[in-house]
Amino acid sequence: MEVLKPDATGIYVAAHQATAAIEEAIEAEVPLIVAVAEHIPLHDMIRVRTFQYLMNEELENILITTHLDTCYVKDADHVKAWVGGDILPGTTIKDGLQVLVEDEDTEAIALIGEIGGEAEIEAADWIKNYRARTEKPKPIAALIGGIEAVPGRIMGHAGAFVLPGEPSAHDKIQALRAANCAIVNHPSRFGPVLKSMLAGSTPSGHGVASPSSGADFQRREIHTAIRRPSPRTAMGYTQQARSIYLTESTAFDLLRQRGLPVADSASALDEGRLLAVTVNRSTRNPCVIASSPADGSGRKPTRFDYDYGVGSKDLNMSAIASRLGLDSSNNDVISLLRTIVSDLITLFAEKEAYLLETQLIASKNKNSEIVIASARFGFDDAAHRSSKRQADIQALRDTSVEDAAEVEVEKDGIVYVKLPNGKGEREIANIGTLVNGAGLAMNTVDALADVGGRAANFLDTGGKATSETVKKSFEVILKDPRVKCIFVNIFGGLTLGDMIARGVIMAFRDLEMTVPVVVRIRGSNEKEGQQIIAESGLPLFAFDDFDEAAKKAMELANATN
């Protein structure tokens, strides 16, 4: 190291070995560390951050940055920056934007974001400043996925969910519009929109909101953290890749084991005070979140960051009590609150949680009495799968309260989430969706809603889908009796279009399907895939254009009602 003095290092090791490798590179004072964060346990990454900050203090003038689950690629036509969808990404959208605006060959920028965290809000602020200081700023168009996501659920990507106090998809769209970005509702619209902006024209058309127009197509069924389902519903406990949710009764047992006060009933939940321990994705620190019943929907919960290695020691309990609407001058209240917060922080670290969300109620007669009235606990499954830790938490999972179909396909690497019907009698979720990649799967559900359709499910086959995976996906979709048509939307990168086409045909024949299937294949081997579909002799409908495919899927689904 002393001789070579490298500028950067790439770390490509198994997830359970990655933390030690990253820390070794930090100790060696390598200024840029690139690592794949997939499957690395969340708390390992928090520890890496803590270790990095400690080393920065010791090294004084040495600037160490870690760029995790991020990739920059430049080819003949494009410069691409992937930030990644983990809970704690190493770089941000702002970092990617900085690279793109400084690249001389980049003329316009397409920004794709999603629910979870505040990176898109921070990017919007950055874009505003960029436009203010730049004589001829590059045009930027943006898309936000997850508008139709089920509140409280993780939509494929490990970080694709909204924590208490985080902005909704609608908030992100509004912020980007305010930063003078055009908004699109599907990736296929980026090309025409950016071409129009480069020509000096105002982009328009279906699924497009120019910076000066309303983003009406993205306003449907907007979900916020405040409107997510009660933790007492079974929906709140359904598992996703990289997450384990415990039933409330099991969460209460964990609290009682630590001697914490738990309410006998939830009769006063309307007056509950939110107290949670999770991760502040903006600062990349663990934090306590607090809000009072008086806040309603007009005030965001407050975050109180703390040092992972120190725990609750340096937290201002009086400030947390005030934010909860408790008497911060009452020593008994502060003492009991400190006990609750300290034990939650200890549980968060010891059992590698990513969210410990509780509702507190205070006695109206005795203001010093505080009890926990509800609990929603989520733990990082990667700690067990990658590093064989937390087997006791894994054993607490109760699959009997989960959707059987979702549990069944989990072992095949398929992320399947059943979506609800709309509010109207005729708003039946009758279009099954089969998509490769969580971001595209979220966007497919959103874009269908924009044209008046309603997806019955979110389904991500994974980036490395096989013909057998496609067949398994069809099987689980067909278990939903609401499904009258299946929309297959595939973008081939690692997944080859011809392989997907063969999987569709195999499933259609083996499962003796009668439900019509609309197939849109783009990307690697798309022509071969489309040809296989066209020559199959089966009632399959192949399209290049998303709008045409979506229109056909709606037509077929509604024709059989």
- In this structure, the answer to whether residues 430 and 359 fall within a common structural domain is no
Name residue 32's beta-bridge partners: 8, 65
- Residue with the bigger pLDDT between 227 and 201: it is 201
Q: What CATH number has the domain bearing residue 103?
A: 3.40.50.261
Distance CA 384, CA 239 (A): 14
Give the model's pLDDT for residue 53.
Answer: 55
Kindly indicate the confidence band of residue 470, based on its pLDDT and cuts at 50, 70 and 90: confident
* Total residues belonging to the chain: 561
Average pLDDT over residues 115-123: 94
- In this structure, the answer to whether residues 419 and 394 fall within a common structural domain is no
Range of lowest pLDDT (51-65, 304-318, 472-486): 51-65
Give the model's pLDDT for residue 463.
Answer: 61
3-state secondary structure 355-387: EEEEEEEECCCCCCCEEEEEEEEEECCHHHHCC
Give the model's pLDDT for residue 561.
Answer: 56
- In this structure, the answer to whether residues 374 and 471 fall within a common structural domain is no
Give the model's pLDDT for residue 62.
Answer: 31
CB 541 within 8 A of CB 508: no
- In this structure, the answer to whether residues 308 and 416 fall within a common structural domain is no
Give the model's pLDDT for residue 161.
Answer: 86
* β-pairing verdict for 208-209 and 182-184: antiparallel
Domain termination residue (choose one: 52, 68, 84): 68
**Cα-based distances in Å from 123 to 167, 447, 496, 528:** 13, 23, 33, 39
CB 143 within 8 A of CB 114: no
Mean predicted lDDT score pLDDT of the chain: 83
Distance CA 126, CA 435 (A): 32
- In this structure, the answer to whether residues 430 and 366 fall within a common structural domain is no
Neighbours of 477 (CB within 10 A): 25
- In this structure, the answer to whether residues 381 and 483 fall within a common structural domain is no
Phi, psi (degrees; rounded to nearest 5) at 76 = -65, -25
Give the model's pLDDT for residue 43.
Answer: 92
Q: What CATH number has the domain bearing residue 375?
A: 3.30.470.20
> Residue 280 domain-assigned?
yes
> Residue 3 domain-assigned?
no
Total number of domains in the chain: 4
Distance CA 135, CA 117 (A): 31
Residue pLDDT, tens place only, 281-295: 999 899 999 999 877
Kindly indicate the confidence band of residue 225, based on its pLDDT and cuts at 50, 70 and 90: very low
DSSP symbol at 243? B
3-state secondary structure 31-79: CEEEECCCCCCHHHHHHHHHHHHHHHHHHCCCCCEEEECCEEEECCCCE
The pTM (predicted TM-score) of the whole model is 0.85
Give the model's pLDDT for residue 271.
Answer: 67
**Cα-based distances in Å from 461 to 87, 232, 280, 302, 554:** 20, 29, 29, 37, 22
Domain ranges, residue 202: 76-218
- In this structure, the answer to whether residues 390 and 498 fall within a common structural domain is no
- Residue with the bigger pLDDT between 535 and 62: it is 535
* Confidence check: pLDDT of 394 > 50: yes
Average pLDDT over residues 424-429: 79
Burial 319-344 (b: 16+ CB within 10 A, else e): ebbbbbbbbbeeeebbebbebbbbbb
Give the model's pLDDT for residue 170.
Answer: 94
Tell me if residue 17 falls in helix, strand or coil: helix
3-state secondary structure 260-325: CCECCCCCCHHHCEEEEEEEECCCCEEEEEEECHHHCCCCCCEEEECCCCCHHHHCCHHHHHHHHC
Give the model's pLDDT for residue 84.
Answer: 63
**Cα-based distances in Å from 550 to 148, 205, 248:** 16, 16, 39
> Residue 351 domain-assigned?
yes
Q: Which of 61, 57, 64 is nearest to 25 (CA)?
A: 64
- In this structure, the answer to whether residues 247 and 175 fall within a common structural domain is no
- Residue with the bigger pLDDT between 216 and 125: it is 125
Tell me if residue 485 falls in helix, strand or coil: strand
Neighbours of 212 (CB within 10 A): 9
- In this structure, the answer to whether residues 376 and 246 fall within a common structural domain is yes
* Confidence check: pLDDT of 352 > 60: yes
Domain termination residue (choose one: 45, 68, 91): 68
> Residue 223 domain-assigned?
no
Give the model's pLDDT for residue 59.
Answer: 39
CA 280 to chain centre: 14
**Cα-based distances in Å from 119 to 35, 95, 318:** 20, 10, 30
Residue pLDDT, tens place only, 139-170: 999 999 999 988 878 877 767 888 889 999 99
* Confidence check: pLDDT of 126 > 90: yes
> Residue 152 domain-assigned?
yes
- In this structure, the answer to whether residues 106 and 181 fall within a common structural domain is yes
- In this structure, the answer to whether residues 416 and 542 fall within a common structural domain is yes
CB 378 within 8 A of CB 353: yes
> Residue 237 domain-assigned?
yes
Contacts of 127 (CB under 8 A, 6+ apart): 97, 140, 176, 179, 180, 181
Is the dihedral angle over the CA atoms 472, 528, 458, 117 positive or is it negative?
positive
* Confidence check: pLDDT of 270 > 60: no
> Residue 372 domain-assigned?
yes
Give the model's pLDDT for residue 219.
Answer: 43
Distance CA 288, CA 320 (A): 9
Domain termination residue (choose one: 368, 399, 430): 399
Kindly indicate the confidence band of residue 500, based on its pLDDT and cuts at 50, 70 and 90: confident
Residue pLDDT, tens place only, 237-263: 344 445 788 999 999 999 999 999 998
Give the model's pLDDT for residue 230.
Answer: 35
Distance CA 26, CA 232 (A): 43
Residue pLDDT, tens place only, 77-94: 565 556 666 787 777 899
> Residue 2 domain-assigned?
no
- In this structure, the answer to whether residues 214 and 128 fall within a common structural domain is yes
